[in-house]
Amino acid sequence: MGYYDDDYESSSRQKGNRGGKFLPALLGAILGGLLVLFTVPALGGAGLLPDNLYPPNEEQNGLGTDENAVEKNVDVNVTTNVTDAVDKASDAVVEVVNIQRTDFWSQQPAGTGSGVIYKKEGNKAYVVTNHHVVEDANQIEITLSNGSKLKGTLRGTDPLMDLAVVEIDSSKVDSVAEFGVSGDLKRGEPAIAIGNPLGNFPGSVTQGVVSSADRSIPVDLDQDGNPDWQAEVIQTDAAINPGNSGGALINIAGQVIGINSSKIAQNEVEGIGFAIPSDVAKPIIEDLEKYGETRRPFLGVNIIPLSQVNTYQREQTLKIPNSVQDGVVVMEITPASPAARAGMKEMDVITEMGGEKIKDPVALRKFLYTKAKIGDEIDITFYRDGKKQTVKVELSGGRQTQ
């Protein structure tokens, strides 16, 4: 029996004694291995072993000698529709810094947001951002995508739609954004947000889809708990964080379809961001650039919802029929306004304008801002001392909100 078996038998009999025959066995194994090592190549060279027992060399398997092997398998310059869209629009997205005075001698940044360069004309360029990004600013600083810092001059803001226009020097501006048509958007189509989240990551890109192309959310401007406006917005799941406000929401063609405005900031909510549709924003941007204000039809009334009036006041002060449940109560008339010229008075209860029901202040503003124009003559139906009346009012223009 060979020495391997002898060693095995010995170890079986004496587990505690591993000396003895172990060293000869080890030497025998080494010698045997050396004999195989030198014998097999010789046999192969003599044609006694088939060639396919040997591994293919580097030239045979295409590795090592082909310098383009990696390029054949991996495209290191990845280009997609998304990257093309980002390349087209990103240089027009800027950082907007709101600088406010802290005391007589000093001022410091109070907040940071984003903006979009939408026009370059002569020695001036124009940036659209959010009203809340530049609100109460003593100075505005714009940082371009190439790092250039420019002084911004506020042309005008619209708190109702949360938009503002800032003017800058155009000498270092190389890129201007192209606006798309938000009215053609479909749920599920790609949406890409570009901005400066948290004020520390300029040029950041997030991708998602259009969750809803025509969402409405309440806006409470005076923080009294009552909505002043129902804003029409694009809902997207592309990540929009603080600092993204005022940045661009673009489509797959690299066109701006919305100006990012807000996000529901709750721990249990993810993927719900909003942008002002480009179709809504464009006429407002034009007014802010040209007039420094948004020119809307103006009625000249200060109103409250009829639903807030208690039963006693409804019966004793307004004297309106019980069948009238919806409308707005005129609390104040602006002197020389269209309402004043038409003979309207305090405590009038408006129920219709231009043939459309007016349920609350939001409905009145929506009619004025979306369905009426400056100079239009409209019929207003109202109740005064319990009697239903109708009067014609010619709307004027101005920066007033209603």
Per-residue pLDDT of the chain (402 residues; tens, 9 = 90+): 332 233 333 333 344 444 444 445 545 555 555 544 444 444 444 444 444 444 445 444 444 445 554 454 555 567 789 999 999 999 999 999 999 988 878 888 889 999 999 999 999 999 999 999 999 999 999 999 999 999 999 999 999 899 999 999 999 999 999 999 999 999 999 999 999 998 889 899 999 999 999 888 888 877 777 777 888 899 999 999 889 999 999 999 999 999 999 776 566 667 899 999 999 999 999 999 999 999 889 999 999 999 999 999 999 999 999 999 999 999 999 999 999 999 999 999 999 999 999 999 889 988 998 889 999 999 999 999 999 999 999 999 865 556
CA distance 258 to 191: 10
Residues 360 and 386 occupy one common structural domain: yes
Residue 278 tokens, joined: 């480009």
Residue 323 tokens, joined: 């069948």
At residue 77, the pLDDT reads: 64
Q: Of the residues 131, 132, 145, 228, which is catalytic?
A: 132
**For the residues of 340-364, what is the DSSP string, one character each?**
HHTT--TT-EEEEETTEE--SHHHH
Residues 120 and 87 occupy one common structural domain: yes
Q: Of the residues 10, 145, 245, 262, which is catalytic?
A: 245
In order of 51, 52, 57, 60, 72, the CA distances from 63 in angstroms are 20, 18, 9, 8, 12
**Is residue 44 in a domain?**
no
Residues 282 and 197 occupy one common structural domain: yes
Q: Indicate the residue among 291, 308, 338 that finishes a domain.
A: 291
Backbone φ and ψ for 176, nearest 5 degrees, come out as -130, 135
- 271 near 208, Cβ under 8 Å? yes
CA distance 277 to 234: 6
At residue 401, the pLDDT reads: 57
At residue 24, the pLDDT reads: 52
Establish whether 170 is a catalytic residue: no
- 366 near 230, Cβ under 8 Å? yes
Residues 125 and 144 occupy one common structural domain: yes
**Is residue 261 in a domain?**
yes
Q: Of the residues 7, 91, 158, 162, which is catalytic?
A: 162
Establish whether 51 is a catalytic residue: no
**Is residue 67 in a domain?**
no
247 burial (CB, 10 Å; 0-12 / 13-18 / 19+) is: buried
Count of all residues that appear for the chain in the document: 402
**Is residue 205 in a domain?**
yes
At residue 106, the pLDDT reads: 82
Q: How many CA atoms lie within 13 A of 138 on its CB side?
A: 12
Residues 283 and 310 occupy one common structural domain: no
Establish whether 162 is a catalytic residue: yes
The amino acid sitting at 172 is K
Q: What SS3 state is found at 401?
A: coil
**Domains in the chain: how many in total?**
3
At residue 155, the pLDDT reads: 97
CA distance 331 to 346: 5
Q: Indicate the residue among 232, 256, 291 that finishes a domain.
A: 291
**Is residue 72 in a domain?**
no
Which residue range is the domain that position 201 belongs to? 189-291
What's the pTM value of the predicted model, to 2 decimals?
0.72
